[in-house]
Amino acid sequence: MSGSAVLRRPLAQVSEVFYQSDSVQALRNSQVSEVPAQQYATATAVSFQSVGKVYQSSAGAVHALDDITLDIPAGSIFGIIGRSGAGKSSLLRTINRLEQPTSGKVIVNGVDMGLLGEAELVALRRRIGMIFQHFNLLSAKTVFDNVALPLRVAGVRPAEVQQRVTELLALVGLQDKHHVHPRRLSGGQKQRVGIARALATKPEILLCDEATSALDPETTQSILQLLRDINRRLGITVILITHEMSVIREIADQVLVLEQGRIAELGQVWQVFGSPQHAATKALLAPLQHGLPDDVQQRLQAQPPASGAYEVLLQLDYSGAGGLEPDFLRIAKAFGGDLRLVHGGVDRIQGHAHGRLLLALHGQTALPNLSQLAQGPEAIAHRIEVLGYVV
Ligand SMILES: Nc1ncnc2c1ncn2[C@@H]1O[C@H](COP(=O)(O)OP(=O)(O)OP(=O)(O)O)[C@@H](O)[C@H]1O
């Protein structure tokens, strides 16, 4: 049996004892072989069908989720983003039924979560791992015992617990920390323990609740790299919530933008980043954009000065569509040469160039037709705008 075959076992078998002796070998196999992406091309890991959630609070009813309908492809990394209170946690927690929807259905690998009895739910939760912003480790237990806990609760034999935990700690790079207590670990190491623990029962889905929000940027990168690795090597569907667009840009395939409990935007990450439609998406993307630096802003004039030398400040935007990338030779030709790069940058998201360049054009009297330069096969950018004039 291949590793991926074990990992993709249908959830209809939720009442079986999940952990089997072949699982360790399966994990080992799956660690060395990448799972072909096409295997998951049509499968759906989670299907939300008209999901609504209303909390009753002393201040009245809170409509946290409203008519959420979407599918999360199996084997993908799916990001959920939104401002504080948008409903991210509520939605994520309906997947393992930590929250019950008030209306609608959540279908996990074909199983209607709302129909499961308690025993089935316990078994199913072993197939859905979860990691948390504050790690939720047991401080009195060692790293080994934290990771072993879900296996022991599931009745796994000690020899197998030993073997599996050893493998998992090697997988997350903590092979030398078996007997250390969490208080002696860094934040990133604690999250690695959390990830190992979440993977202990060989889940098909990993839920990440602001998993990097308490970490510094460098540690965030290493945890995101680990999550990407787990997704690719083990074929586990990763569903993460975050309030940071940079996290989405780094690892997600698709992104859902929630706003006041509703779907504001949903799509491939490069498309949503390249052409954000909703005000909430634009606001979330703002910190990542190369806005006008203050010193340039202060010198910017709406009209060219009547006399003397000046520069025209141009903004060129790249949305990722059609394979169009900044080509400085063509840009210089289009504007007649005398250009300098003032500010900006381009990111590659899922192979698409996305970003913004601010260029200062010197000594120009007549500009070319900007809308023509942003159209058709000869386009030099997706959008070109004159921001003003700098003396
Ligand atoms: N148990 C609860 N009782 C009452 N209201 C709740 C409860 N849980 C969440 N809410 C409310 O539901 C809405 C959505 O909350 P949720 O935590 O899902 O949003 P979020 O996007 O995860 O927010 P954050 O980023 O701040 O964690 C908010 O208005 C919140 O106050």
CA dist 328 and 341 (Å) reads: 10
**What's the pLDDT tens digit per position in 257-303?**
999 999 999 999 999 998 899 999 999 998 888 888 889 889 899 98
Query: 3-286 adopts what CATH topology?
Result: Rossmann fold (3.40.50)
If you measure from the C-alpha of residue 124 to the centroid of ligand 1, how many angstroms do you get, rounded to a whole number? Answer: 25
CA dist 115 and 131 (Å) reads: 25
Query: Domain ranges in the chain?
Result: 3-286, 294-390
Q: Is 57 exposed, middle or buried (0-12, 13-18, 19+ CB in 10 A)?
A: exposed
Same fold, 3-286 and 294-390: no
If you measure from the C-alpha of residue 99 to the centroid of ligand 1, how many angstroms do you get, rounded to a whole number? Answer: 11
Mean pLDDT over each residue of the chain, to the nearest integer: 87
Which pTM value belongs to this model? 0.83
- Cβ–ligand 1 distance for 94 under 6 Å, the answer no
Q: Is 74 exposed, middle or buried (0-12, 13-18, 19+ CB in 10 A)?
A: buried
- Cβ–ligand 1 distance for 203 under 6 Å, the answer no
Lowest-pLDDT range of 9-18, 195-204, 221-230, 262-271: 9-18
What are the phi and psi torsion angles at 285 (to 5°)? -80, -20
**What's the pLDDT tens digit per position in 228-260?**
999 999 999 999 999 989 999 999 999 999 999
If you measure from the C-alpha of residue 86 to the centroid of ligand 1, how many angstroms do you get, rounded to a whole number? Answer: 7
- Cβ–ligand 1 distance for 132 under 6 Å, the answer no
- Of the candidates 159, 220, 166, the one whose C-alpha atom is nearest the C-alpha of residue 188 is 220
Gyration radius of the chain over CA positions: 25
If you measure from the C-alpha of residue 135 to the centroid of ligand 1, how many angstroms do you get, rounded to a whole number? Answer: 20
Q: Hey, which CATH number is domain 294-390, 3.30.70, 1.10.10, 3.30.590, 1.25.10?
A: 3.30.70
Task: Identify the pLDDT of residue 35.
Answer: 39
- Cβ–ligand 1 distance for 56 under 6 Å, the answer no
Which mutation among 57, 83, 89 tests ligand 1's pocket best, with the greatest number of atoms within 8 A of CB?
A: 89
